[in-house]
Amino acid sequence: MRWIAAVECVAVVTWAANTRADDVRPPAATSEAARSASGTTLRLPPCADPDTDGAFVTSTGCSGVFGIRGSAIGVRGVPADEGSGIMFSEEGEEFVRRGIFSSHGLHRLAIGGGGAGFEGTLLGGLTGGFRIPVGDRHGPVFRAGALGYLRGNNAFYASLLELPEIEIGYQYLQGVTVLELGMTSGAVLVGRHRVGEAETRRLGAGLEIGAYAALHVPWVRLGLKAVRLPTNDGLDSPVRVAEGTLCVIASPFAICADGRATVTDAITTPGAPPSEVRSLYAGLAFGFTRER
């Protein structure tokens, strides 16, 4: 009987030791969280799950970037104030799908100044429509909405109100990944375009015609657009615009580069025939991206 008692005693001691070890051992989930918090685990920007799918999908909750933007302006074909500037800026672009419904929104706000005087941007656009479900994650899109902006400084000025704006393209969207290519058009109701000391061109009485492309992946957002804007001032030449934005996002930080080039004919000297004028406006922003 003594050996039975000894065995029971050893069993009790072993059970007690294991119980104390379990009490002090951290749970597996806690260890994983600690490793992630220490920075040893590389994570995507927390905008959306890269594998998100279902009835409601948002392309990038991290699309908005706000910070400090440096800018530069160059003009050809006409005298103008040129130089660099610095601004507070906020901008973003986002695609949303809910079932067969699709929307596309973009915005840009900035204020500051520099060598070309006071400088600012106020831009907003929103279109909505539907996507034909050719596949679970891709299909043709048809959207309509509005676009408007005011932007410029002493070297250039541009304004536009377009209603309706129409986008027809093909979209692939899964989680934070978006690829869309398409054509854009719309009725230009009113607008102005001026480069340097040339006479201001009046926009309107016609349709915008152009193309666009967008690429969103976890750390990069790219948007490109090229359009031909109708004029309503007696000159035959339209205003041709090409612009793009490239953002690199490592949440919560972001770097965005943008550029806008224009070509048109304008009267640079009173009484003289119109001649070609060009402008190139570019910026580089360092800032933060908001998380949802």
How confident is the model over 41-89, as pLDDT tens digits?
445 444 544 444 544 455 554 567 899 999 999 999 999 888 899 999 9
Backbone angles phi, psi at 47, to 5 degrees: -85, -45
- Per-residue pLDDT at 219: 85
CA distance 188 to 197: 24
CA distance 118 to 115: 9
The reported pTM is 0.78
Which amino acid, residue 101? Answer: F
User: 191: closest CA among 123, 276, 259?
Assistant: 123
Average pLDDT over residues 212-237: 92
- pLDDT above 90: percentage of residues in the chain: 59
The chain-wide mean pLDDT, for the chain, equals 82
Least confident of 31-45, 58-72, 141-155, 194-208: 31-45
Compute CA distances 161 → 64, 187, 203, 274, whole Å.
23, 9, 9, 25
Average pLDDT over residues 142-167: 96
CA distance 89 to 245: 14
Is residue 36's pLDDT more than 70? no
How confident is the model over 117-150, as pLDDT tens digits?
999 999 999 999 999 989 888 999 999 999 999 9
What's the pLDDT band for 236 if we cut at 50, 70, 90? confident
- Per-residue pLDDT at 250: 82
Other C-beta atoms closer than 10 Å to the C-beta of 218 total 19
Backbone angles phi, psi at 38, to 5 degrees: -75, -5
| Cβ(85)–Cβ(70) below 8 Å | yes
How confident is the model over 99-116, as pLDDT tens digits?
899 999 999 999 999 988
How confident is the model over 237-270, as pLDDT tens digits?
999 999 999 999 887 889 999 999 999 999 998 8
